[in-house]
Structure 1
Amino acid sequence: MCGICCSVTLSIEHGGYDFLHKNLLHNLQRRGPNSSQQVLKTDTDYHCLFSGHVLHLRGLLTPQPIEDERGNVFLWNGEIFGGVYVGAKENDTQIMFNHLSSFNNESEIMSLFSSIHGPWAFIYYQASSHCVWFGRDYFGRRSLLWHFSNTGKSFCLASVGTEAAGIVNQWQEVPVCGIFRIDLKSSAISKHIVLKLYPWKYISKENTAEEVDKNLNQILDDLPKFVSIEINEARLCLKTPVVPLNTKLPQGSFESDHSSHIPATIENLQVFLKDKHMKKAVHQLIHVLSEAVKTRVLCLSRSEILFLNDDLSKASTRKANIAILFSGGIDSMVIANLADRHVPFDEPIDLLNVAFMTKVRTGHATFTKKSGQPKKHLETSSEENTKGLAATTDNIKDQNFNVPDRLTGRAGLKELKAINPLRIWNFVEINVSLEELQRMRNHQISQLVQPLDTVLDDSIGCAVWFASRGVGYVMKEDEMKPYQSAAKVVLTGIGADEQLAGYSRHRVRFKTHGLEGLNKELEMELGRISSRNLGRDDRVIGDHGKEARFPFLDENVVSFLNSLSILEKADLTLPRGVGEKLILRLAALELGLTASSVLPKRAMQFGSKIAKMENSHEKASDKCSRLQVLSSE
């Protein structure tokens, strides 16, 4: 994980240079606490400030920006999990830059980025052509924002924005329709910024040109008049990294043999595993998802691990390298189970479980009469976090935090302990009061969620921020004790619902438009996941100097699920807790999970009880006024 930024001034007639605003620099540094530096490149017509902030996870620490003898500059916020060879002790930033610096033409750049498996966002200054290249991976798993000044004389690319200096509304997410190139010299002379686009090639669609044009028109609507987008002259494209969605439907009318009234029980779920074809598909999913988890839990530097004949008591002092956003639901349970297969046996795994106060107790000394809120709250820094936790120990057993996700999380913990009782599972209970929610939203979270601005973005953004911060309590020696997760990698289950019809809207779509409508809905879900979820979640989790990793969005996992027919993935004639994400529930059964395999889908904002906490009359799609508060200076 890194914070990357490139600030470009296209007119230097007035001399001088506006350095990065302190708030923007602060947000970037939070993402990359291990190394920070800047490089300034100047020309007669422009100058560029490159700012890099590194969270060190693999290979040798490689400070960014990285520059070569020809003046090329590279910023990389990504992980190469496949497609390009990276040795165990090598750093992928250096590997990528070595490739880019050796290329002589644009087609080689397309070939390189087409081959990468893993999340990425990058900025590359090619000195010989006076061009800046930038973009995000096919799913948009890493955040990259842009904003263009009103005068047309400058623009900025950054992992995260800031609400300062009156530019909050100008930040927009860089779309994931391809890679962009800007000729700085030409733009400075013409006083018009032209974005050259190298789009993803949608092999499955005959109307690729129409799709690209439609995307371009949507992007242009949000850009100033002096910015335009054109397809690159050579018509070069990136190769889409996943196979197209299988939209083939069963011949004839679809009549399910199953009743929507059958109870959601393990026994009824097990019936499906008697079908050989279904069982084969389930085992294929387990294999490909297990490999995705394996890559994501092993691709980071570790201290020396214990051997089987070593004193296991040493394991109790080790810190977790891997954390999981954990509700006890089917997605997080499967990820935790598979992580247990691959994380070294002596290493704890942190299960991060967040709960928001559901109601206020009366007549308790730790609450004020007027507001009903705790007098003491959690602080921001690590040391102060512990103090705040110790000061509110009374709240640990408070029933106000027994939200649905806390209860299913505890049940899931028991299942995991039954499967592997030797593993140290740190179930981190993260309790958030209304006071702390409002304070940290104002102080930090609102500018991370931006440019997204709905009630849903507020709820999920805040929930994920507090969960991934990892400050809470764990049970140690039969006593709840303050705890802060030190894990730099946070696994999340996002992508499962989008691919396996997990949301209630999928049932509505199926009822009104049948299987064909459901297929179109799932295709749309994956197409919009970058702008709807992933950029926001990357900014929110990265704010703690941690990296979000998404096993369900691994290219091989998506390709496998795309290859299946809709009925192999879900059967929405079946009740909640069975029909949605059917293949994943069957995989959970095969992995030895029990009760969690039939838990119905519950969205994070409802399971954690953050939704309706402040305004019970809001709709998820409404613009959220709480996100509009500007940081004070």
Structure 2
Amino acid sequence: MCGICCVVSLSVQHTAEDFFKKDLLCNLSRRGPNRSQQLTRTVSDLSYQCLFSGHVLHLRGSMTPQPVTDINNNVFLWNGEVFSGIHVEAVENDTQVIFHHLSSCSSESDILSLFSSVRGPWSFIYYLASTHSLWFGRDYFGRRSLLWQFNNELDKAFCLSSVSALSESDNQWQEVPASGIYKIDLKACAISKSLVLTLYPWKYRFKENEIEETFFNGLDQISKDLPACVSLRMNDSKLSLITPVVPLNRTVSENSVDSHCTNITNGIVTVEDLHGFLADEHKKKLVHHLIDVLSEAIKRRVLYLVRDTGQLSGKILSKPIRKAHVAVLFSGGIDSMLIAALADRHIPSEEPIDLLNVAFMIKEQNKQTKQKKQLELHSCEECFKKLDTTPVVNVSCFNVPDRITGRAGLKELETINPSRTWNFVEINVTLEELKRMRQQRISHLVYPLDTVLDDSIGCAVWFASRGEGFITNQGDLKPYTSSAKVVLTGIGADEQLAGYSRHRVCFKKYGLAGLNEELGMELGRISSRNLGRDDRIIGDHGKEARFPFLDEDVVSFLNSLPVSEKADLTLPRGIGEKLLLRLAAKELGLTASTVLPKRAMQFGSRIAKMENNNEKATDKCSRLQSVSVD
């Protein structure tokens, strides 16, 4: 993973360096701590200048400083991973491989064909010197952040960057929409003194050589958010990228809901309730298909890393242990449990896996609120007792629901593979530290998103992925900092398998057809709602976020199924949502976690209750806004 940036000046009065601020350089270098360098391309007769800044997190193959160049003066910045689609040897660096392919492209359609073939997360910036054009974009899901900022009409400058910096001017940063790839003809812009973006959108291929003819209808929405000095148009040749996943199956049968689970009483769900589904051969076949594609997706994301075989030792731990290279954002819920269990198949057996579990200090409460929270925690503990999985419970101000389920999940994983070192990292955050780090680091990473939900999730993910906490070593809690550069996260599971409470509301109101529409919308907006933010947050620690549930093969498999095969919302919470995923977990030998109801990170970690209980998730977050203004 990398921090990439390009600043373009179309003004004779200003150089590109004039717009490249020191704090932006600092934020980029945190993403790529292993190597940083810059270069400038100046075209005097056309009065434009480009500054390229690359910051590398070394994960694969030989160290490749960015930006990379060739003999034709082309320049390439790459923040991505090629997991399939384009062949990359285990010892190769994918930046070099993609740039080699790009240098061989002889037309626009060749460039689009190349990026249509890549399977994996990416954002890129490519300067093609022969045509004075700048190409850039994000992958279909927007798993890598890329922002743009346009200066006012007099300055004639713009910037593309993985991450922003707080701006004193009125020029706002925005996420580059993951609607396709963009091109700017710098020669034409320099001559006309106007900035025009050309879009090459994503389109589905329904049959061999048959591409969707429907006109891309997002042009107006993208244009609406651009400043007046910038215009956006579709490319004249009507060229497009081919989406890397199959379209969503919107088939709805009258008899789609066919519950194999009729013995649930009083809404109490047990592991045994899953047996009936697995007795059905068709359902079992689907479950094993899901396990296979998800296992392969995780394999791609945990192998071929540059692995340091050293040990962590010294003052921190009383007993030296090997370094972990892979961590999981871990709540003990179904998504993170399944990721951890499948990662165990592919990570070398002698290598630890870090389970990052974050908790925010429970503030003092009045008597009524305190009783309510105690009942909730007690209910959470009772869930595991009934399933013969009693969690270790330490009564403390950090004993939040996700800590309880996380400890219980650890026990399940230790049962599945007792020889693996599972580092359960207890990350505890006080209100004072939350406020301090929000102001110092987190606010500009969440930006340009600005809601209460963005603040809560952004802060929780930042502290979790930092990995500073405690692990149990020889029976005692010892300070520990995760060394893992790869962080696996379960995002994408709820969006595809109807995991959120709003999906139940939608199903009750509009049935399966309405639920289908909701799930289609969820995946369509995941780039702007979640992924850019989470990439910026996790990348700030010099670590890379990886999203196995958004692997192209996983999404294509789930998209191919009718919604009734993925979830059954006629069943209670804890079984009906993400039903197919729960059955997969059961097949892998997981127990209590297979029937845990969905609990959002902001509630499970207790950050949502830490500062203002009266806020709505969609409200503008005053804490983020006040920091941005200061």
| Residue 490 (structure 1) aligns with | 487
Question: What is the TM-score with the length of structure 1 in the denominator?
Answer: 0.90
CA distance in 2, matches of 1:253, 1:123: 46
Q: Does 1:356 align with 2:360?
A: yes
- Which of 238, 244, 247 does residue 241 from structure 2 map onto? 238
Question: Residues of 1 paired with 2:440 and 2:584: CA distance?
Answer: 42
CA distance in 2, matches of 1:340, 1:56: 23
Report the counterpart of residue 415 of structure 1 in structure 2.
412
Q: Partners of 1:476 and 1:357 in 2: how far apart?
A: 23
TM-score (norm 2): 0.91
Following superposition, the deviation at residue 301 of structure 1 comes to 1.1
Asked if 1 retains the 8 angstrom alpha-carbon contact of 2:9 and 2:15, the reply is no
Change (3 A) 1:15 1:250: closer
Paired letter, 1:92:
D
Deviation at 1:165, TM superposition (A): 3.1
CA deviation vs aligned residue, 1:419-448 (integer Å, no higher than 9, x gap): 111100000000000000000001110000
1:145 counterpart residue number = 147
Q: Is the 8 A contact 1:305 1:346 kept in 2?
A: no
Of 596-605 and 244-253, more deviation after overlay is shown by: 244-253
Instruction: After TM superposition, give the deviation of residue 211 of structure 1 in Å.
Output: 5.5
**For the Cα contact (< 8 Å) 1:293–1:551, is it kept in 2?**
yes
How far the C-alpha of 1:302 sits from its partner, in A, is: 1.5
Aligned residue in 1 for 2:169: 166
1:632 positional shift:
9.0
Aligned pairs (5 A) from 1:173-184: 173-184=175-186
Residue matched to 1:156: 159
Conservation of the 8 A alpha-carbon contact between 1:147 and 1:171: yes
SS in 2 for 1:611: helix
Deviation at residue 465 of structure 1 after TM alignment: 0.2
Look up the equivalent residue of 1:454 and give its one-letter code.
Answer: T
Q: Deviations over 1:63-100 (max 9, x none)?
A: 00011121100000000000001111110001111111
**Equivalence for 2:103:** 101
Query: Gaps (5+ residues) in structure 1?
Result: 307-314, 363-395
Q: Which is worse superposed, 435-444 or 10-19?
A: 10-19
List gaps (5 residues or longer) in structure 2: 312-318, 367-392
Counterpart-to-counterpart distance in 2, 1:196 and 1:359: 51
Rounded Cα–Cα distance in structure 2 between residues aligned with 1:606 and 1:62 = 41
1:277 paired residue among 259, 282, 288: 282
Residue 542 in 1 paired to residue 544 in 2?
Answer: no
Cα drift, residue 219 of structure 1: 0.8
What CA distance in whole angstroms lies between the structure 2 residues aligned with 1:468 and 1:561? 28
Residue 326 of structure 2 corresponds to residue 329 of structure 1? no
Shift of 1:61: 0.4
Pick closer, same or farther for the CA change 1:612–1:130 going to 2, 3 Å.
same
Q: Distance in 2 between matches of 1:632 and 1:166?
A: 11
Amino acid of the residue matched to residue 606 of structure 1?
A: F
Indicate if the aligned counterparts of 2:575 and 2:595 stay in contact, CA closer than 8 A: yes
Corresponding position of 2:376: none
- Which amino acid is the alignment partner of residue 37 of structure 2? Q
1:286 is matched with which residue?
A: 291
Q: Aligned match of 1:129 in 128, 131, 135?
A: 131
Q: Find the aligned partners of 2:492 and 2:522 in 1 and give their Cα distance.
A: 9
Q: Name the SS of the counterpart of 1:399 in structure 2.
A: coil
Query: 2: distance between equivalents of 1:133 and 1:545?
Result: 26
Deviation at 1:629, TM superposition (A): 3.0
Q: Distance between the aligned counterparts of 1:26 and 1:19, measured in 2?
A: 14
The equivalent of 2:583 in structure 1 is: 586
Is the contact between residue 308 and residue 323 of structure 2 (CA under 8 Å) also seen in structure 1? Answer: no
Cα deviation code 1:235-290 (max 9, x no counterpart): 11101100111111114685757557553111111110000000000000000000
Query: In the aligned structure 2, how far is the partner of 1:531 from the partner of 1:223?
Result: 15
Answer yes or no: is the 8 Å Cα contact 2:150–2:172 preserved in 1: yes
Name the CA shift for 1:514/1:257 in 2 (closer, same or farther; >3 Å).
farther
Equivalent pair of 1:164/1:630 in contact (CA under 8 Å): no
Matched, 1:519 2:493: no
**Equivalent in 221, 224, 239 of residue 221 of structure 1:** 224
Number of equivalences: 591
User: Pairwise mapping of residues 182-221 of structure 1 onto structure 2 (< 5 A)?
Assistant: 182-203=184-205, 212=216, 214-221=217-224
Structure 2 counterpart of 1:489, which letter?
Answer: V
Q: Residues 484 and 559 from structure 1, CA distance in 2 versus in 1: closer, same or farther, beyond 3 angstroms?
A: same
| Counterpart residue type for residue 543 of structure 1 | D
Shift of 1:631: 6.3
Tell me, in whole angstroms, the C-alpha distance in 1 between the residues paired with 2:308 and 2:506.
Answer: 49
Matches within 5 A, 1:366-405: 399-405=396-402
State, as a whole percentage, how many aligned pairs show the same letter: 67
TM-aligned CA deviation for residue 101 of structure 1: 1.1
Greater shift, 589-598 or 226-235, is seen at: 226-235
- Give me the whole-angstrom Cα distance separating, in 2, the residues matched to 1:445 and 1:254: 44
Deviation at 1:164, TM superposition (A): 3.5
Report the secondary structure of 1:180's partner residue: strand
SS of alignment partner, residue 166 of structure 1: coil
Aligned residue number for residue 377 of structure 2: none
Q: Which amino acid aligns with 2:104?
A: S
Match of 1:559 in 2: 556
Q: Match for residue 383 of structure 1? A: none
Asked if 2 retains the 8 angstrom alpha-carbon contact of 1:519 and 1:566, the reply is yes
* Number of the residue aligned with 2:302: 297
C-alpha displacement of 1:316: 5.4
Distance of 1:406 and 1:525 partners within structure 2? 28
Aligned to 2:25: 25
Question: Retained in 1: the 8 A contact 2:309–2:323?
Answer: no
2:504 aligned to which of 499, 504, 507:
507
Aligned AA (1:408):
T
C-alpha distance after superposition, 1:443-462 (max 9, x if no partner): 11000000000000000000
Q: CA deviation at 1:299?
A: 3.0
Residue 63 of structure 1: aligned partner: 65
**How much has 1:225 moved relative to structure 2?**
1.3
Change (3 A) 1:467 1:129: same
Moved more, 5-14 or 265-274: 5-14
Larger deviation, residues 623-632 vs 321-330:
623-632
Deviates more, 1:195-204 or 1:260-269: 260-269
Question: Residue 574 of structure 2 is aligned with which of 567, 577, 586?
Answer: 577
- Report the CA distance between 1:193 and its aligned residue: 1.0
Alignment-derived partner of residue 114 in structure 1? 116
Shift in alpha-carbon separation, 1:253–1:418, aligned structure 2, 3 A: closer
The residue number in structure 2 matching 1:309 is: none
Report the CA distance shift for 1:601/1:16 in structure 2 as closer, same or farther (over 3 A). Answer: closer
SS, match of residue 629 in structure 1: helix
